[in-house]
Amino acid sequence: MNKKLCCFYVNEIHLITMLLPYINERINQATKVITILEKDISESAKRVMKGIQGKKSDDLLNVDWRNKSLNYLYESDVKDKLILISGSDEFIEEANKIINYKKEDCTILDCYEMMQGSSKLQEILDEHDKVVNTSGEKYKEEVFAGYVKKDCGKVTL
């Protein structure tokens, strides 16, 4: 069974800055990271990395922030990896379908731009196990005060 995480960002710099501590932690746990990005954000990643003080692992520096077609996902082994997905709602949805079709256990991190996903916030949260922010994986209720999962029209606690 896949672990489904989500995060919300304002712009590319915010996305990268927010995710780097989490990605670094996962890399330190020997987790391989695959990025499936609809848009190339490599220049923003270079700027953020340049500003980071201290030792950066080679694996963190080697995270690929270029855009990739969904075909790349068909060809990739996702078993036991962290799959970071960012793009339009349709792009994220299609990437998730491909991963689910593969039937390989992995961690999926769907990244939603706030201006795009904010109107669907409840639906997005209901579909994911946890939220990732600068302090790592958090329960949805920790990040969104008052969040209550909706289930078939009924509210569950």
30-40 residue pLDDT tens: 999 999 999 99
Number of domains the chain contains: 1
pLDDT confidence tier of residue 129, bands split at 50, 70 and 90:
very high
Q: Provide the 8-state DSSP code for 10.
A: S
Sole residue written with tokens 């994220």: 92
Other beta carbons within 10 Å of 1: 7
Distance (Å, rounded) from C-alpha 146 to C-alpha 123? 15
H or E, element range at 29: none
Worst-scoring range by mean pLDDT, 4-18, 47-61, 109-123? 47-61
Beta carbons of 130 and 22 less than 8 angstroms apart = no
What is the DSSP code string of 78-111?
-TT-EEEEES-HHHHHHHHHHHHHHT---EEEEE
Report CA-CA distances (Å) from 62 to 5, 24, 48, 53, 55. Answer: 22, 11, 14, 17, 14
Report the predicted TM-score, pTM, of the whole model to 2 decimal places: 0.86
Range of the domain at 126: 3-155
Q: Flag whether pLDDT at 157 surpasses 80.
A: no
Residue type, 151: D
Look up residue 118 and give its DSSP letter. G
CA distance 73 to 113: 21
What are the tens digits of pLDDT across the range 64-92?
A: 888 888 999 999 999 999 999 999 999 99
Distances, alpha carbon 125 to alpha carbons 30, 43, 89, 110, in Å: 27, 30, 14, 11
CATH code, domain with 24: 3.40.50
What are the beta bridge partners of residue 150?
155
